[in-house]
């Protein structure tokens, strides 16, 4: 940026755009698509309505716990809330006990209770940090021990029954479950929050509390606010966690502490404060879920959980080491856009998904399905097959065939959406230059729209000739 005084105007534009870009998202995005591609290749059923649905059910408590952690971590002073896991467990067990006692039955009351308890705890936390002025990590350590103790008192062993409406969530047969709605609403709420001045104050305080204090930011109010938001997220995480396990569990929630910290860091947030976002946290938590998912498709038998641990640890350390090269990347690419990068990799991943769900190897298609038993002695493999083999999936069963019919339109619609996003992005970016790019973009858009038209009208590319509105039917 420094060597082009002539292009000062252009540089300032770039600077403005680069300011918003977060290069720390580079690693999580890459990892996300890598794992997604691997997961889909290993198990194509992930890309079905039921597969995504159950993935959302399982991953949402972790994602929300990461959000909760993120909100307080941004506030600085090394506020890594180790007590987030026990807090989720606490809300879970009290919820189950209160429901069992017949006190909390109304869904609205349950939501209000969970969010209130989470916010109350975090409020106390922030008051202690502000007025007693003990290091936050000690407060969270104290809370960790106290809450994980009291959880076992309230509910000595896993048990109890969740409210019926919550128990139904855990089935995960469709993408559009209430859990998904909670996740989307929580994410959007945070994104809306980032538009406020309060968020700017929060980030300023997180990166430099003294500067914030001297410039008149009400740091106490901001800190309390950050903790209240964190508590609300923790309440939501506890609700989705209760929905996932459909019962009470005093110790399971505790494990969320370490995983959520891992997810947060994997998502590019800084534990020192001031940096972190909902997008990165989402990616970090999803990455952890995908790691477990991918490893679960390999059958390690008794050592499964150890391999998962090993993978967690190594990926965490490696991704941290990768952040070291970000300054070099920043020096050479001075306008890194996470969104464009995300879309670019998304298109590649879409290709992989399309391949995994729709493409069939012609050689395996001729073979009957039932003959591919794993235990048979292995015949010598042709060299060509050896290289291509691992990437190809087996012949489709009837169920997979149906799945494919269902997934085809979904995938194509997604591709269309991505293409439009790319077009919009390019159009916005190029709009202040006199180049041929807008024209190219318009042509590309026209081609895409033409493709969409062919698909919709039952042309040669239509996946399902009987029903043009297959997407709606499949829900």
Partner 1 sequence: MTTLAQPPKLGLPATIIGVCVGIILTAIGVVFGFLQGLSVQLIILSAIATLAAFVWGWRFVLGQFVSDANSVPEGETSEGRKVWLQFRPAIFGLIAILALFLVLSLTIEGFFNVWNVVSLLIILTIIVLTRTLGRHFQENRSAFIGIMVLAGLFSIGSMNIEGFASANNIKSMLLFAAFLGIASVGQTLVALLGGLDLSIPFIIGAANVGLLYLIGLGVPPWLAVLIVLVIGILLGVINGFLSYKLQGQALIVTLGTGFAISGGVQIVTSIGTAYGGNVFGTVPNWLSNLAAMNGSTFGLPVPPVICIWALIVIVLIVGMRLTVYGRYLYALGVNRTSAKRVMISELTYWVMMYAISGFFAALTGGLLLGWSGGGFIGVGDQYLFLTLAAVVVGGTSLLGGQGGYGFTVIGVLVLQVLSSFLIGIGLDFEWQQFIFGLLILPMVALYARSPHIRTQI
Q: Which residues bind partner 1 (CB under 8 A)?
A: 80, 82, 128, 132-135, 137-139, 141-153, 156, 209-210, 213-214, 219, 258, 261-262, 265, 270-272, 301-303, 306-314, 316-317, 320-321, 323-324
Shortest distance, CB of residue 315 to partner 1, whole angstroms?
8
Quote the CA–CA distance of 90 and 147 in Å, as a whole number: 7
Shortest distance, CB of residue 213 to partner 1, whole angstroms?
5
Shortest distance, CB of residue 145 to partner 1, whole angstroms?
3
**256 or 341, CB closer to partner 1?**
256
Shortest distance, CB of residue 298 to partner 1, whole angstroms?
13
Q: What is the DSSP string of 384-416?
A: HHHHHGGGSPPPP-HHHHHHHHHHHHHHHHHHH
**44 or 284, CB closer to partner 1?**
284
Both tokens of 455, joined, read 């698909």
Shortest distance, CB of residue 98 to partner 1, whole angstroms?
19
Shortest distance, CB of residue 289 to partner 1, whole angstroms?
16
**255 or 431, CB closer to partner 1?**
255
Residue 286, judged by CB atoms within 10 A of its CB (0-12, 13-18, 19+), counts as: buried
**134 or 386, CB closer to partner 1?**
134
**302 or 383, CB closer to partner 1?**
302
Both tokens of 7, joined, read 């292009």
Measured between alpha carbons, how far apart are the two ends of the chain, in Å?
Answer: 50
Contact between residue 241 and residue 61 where contact means Cβ atoms under 8 Å apart: yes
**323 or 405, CB closer to partner 1?**
323
Helix and strand numbers, DSSP H then E, in the chain: 21, 0
Contact between residue 295 and residue 307 where contact means Cβ atoms under 8 Å apart: yes
Contact between residue 265 and residue 69 where contact means Cβ atoms under 8 Å apart: no
- The residue among 152, 153, 142, 93 whose CA lies nearest residue 117 is 93
Shortest distance, CB of residue 135 to partner 1, whole angstroms?
6
- The residue among 171, 178, 45, 55 whose CA lies nearest residue 110 is 178
**324 or 379, CB closer to partner 1?**
324
Residues β-bridged to residue 159: 248
């Amino acid at each position: 940026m420094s060597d082009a005084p002539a292009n000062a105007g252009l540089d300032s534009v770039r600077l403005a755009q680069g300011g918003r870009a977060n290069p720390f998202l580079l690693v999580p995005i890459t990892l996300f698509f890598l794992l997604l591609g691997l997961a889909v290749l290993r198990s194509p059923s992930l890309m079905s309505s039921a597969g995504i649905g159950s993935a959302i059910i399982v991953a949402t408590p972790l994602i929300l716990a990461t959000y909760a952690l993120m909100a307080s971590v941004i506030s600085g002073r090394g506020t890594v809330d180790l007590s987030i896991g026990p807090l989720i467990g606490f809300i879970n067990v009290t919820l189950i006990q209160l429901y069992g006692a017949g006190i909390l039955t109304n869904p609205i009351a349950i939501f209000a209770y969970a969010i209130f308890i989470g916010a109350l705890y975090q409020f106390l936390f922030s008051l202690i940090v502000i007025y007693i002025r003990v290091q936050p990590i000690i407060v969270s350590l104290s809370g960790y021990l106290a809450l994980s103790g009291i959880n076992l008192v309230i509910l000595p062993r896993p048990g109890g029954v969740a409210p019926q409406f919550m128990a139904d969530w855990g089935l995960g047969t469709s993408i559009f479950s209430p859990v998904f709605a909670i996740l989307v609403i929580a994410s959007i709420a945070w994104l809306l929050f980032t538009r406020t001045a309060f968020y700017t104050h929060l980030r300023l305080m997180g990166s430099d509390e003294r500067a914030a204090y001297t410039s008149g930011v009400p740091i106490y109010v901001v800190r309390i606010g950050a903790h209240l938001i964190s508590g609300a997220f923790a309440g939501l995480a506890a609700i989705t966690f209760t929905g996932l396990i459909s019962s009470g569990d005093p110790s399971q929630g505790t494990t969320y502490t370490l995983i959520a910290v891992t997810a947060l860091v994997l998502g590019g947030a800084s534990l020192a404060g001031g940096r972190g976002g909902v997008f990165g946290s989402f990616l970090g938590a999803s990455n952890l879920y995908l790691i477990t998912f991918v490893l679960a498709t390999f059958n390690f038998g008794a050592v499964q959980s150890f391999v998962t641990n090993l993978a967690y640890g190594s990926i965490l350390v490696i991704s941290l080491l990768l952040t070291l090269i970000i300054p070099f990347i920043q020096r050479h690419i001075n306008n890194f856009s996470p969104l464009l990068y995300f879309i670019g990799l998304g298109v590649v991943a879409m290709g992989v998904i399309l391949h995994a769900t729709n493409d069939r190897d012609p050689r395996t298609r001729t073979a009957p399905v039932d003959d591919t038993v794993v235990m048979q002695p292995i015949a010598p493999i042709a060299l060509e097959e050896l290289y291509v083999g691992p990437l190809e999936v087996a012949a489709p069963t009837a169920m997979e065939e149906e799945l494919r019919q269902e997934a085809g339109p979904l995938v194509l619609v997604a591709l269309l959406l991505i293409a439009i996003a790319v077009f919009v992005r390019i159009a916005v970016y190029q709009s202040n230059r006199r180049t041929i790019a807008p024209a190219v973009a318009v042509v590309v858009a026209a081609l895409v729209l033409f493709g969409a038209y062919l698909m919709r009208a039952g042309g040669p590319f239509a996946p399902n000739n009987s029903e043009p509105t297959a997407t709606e039917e499949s829900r």
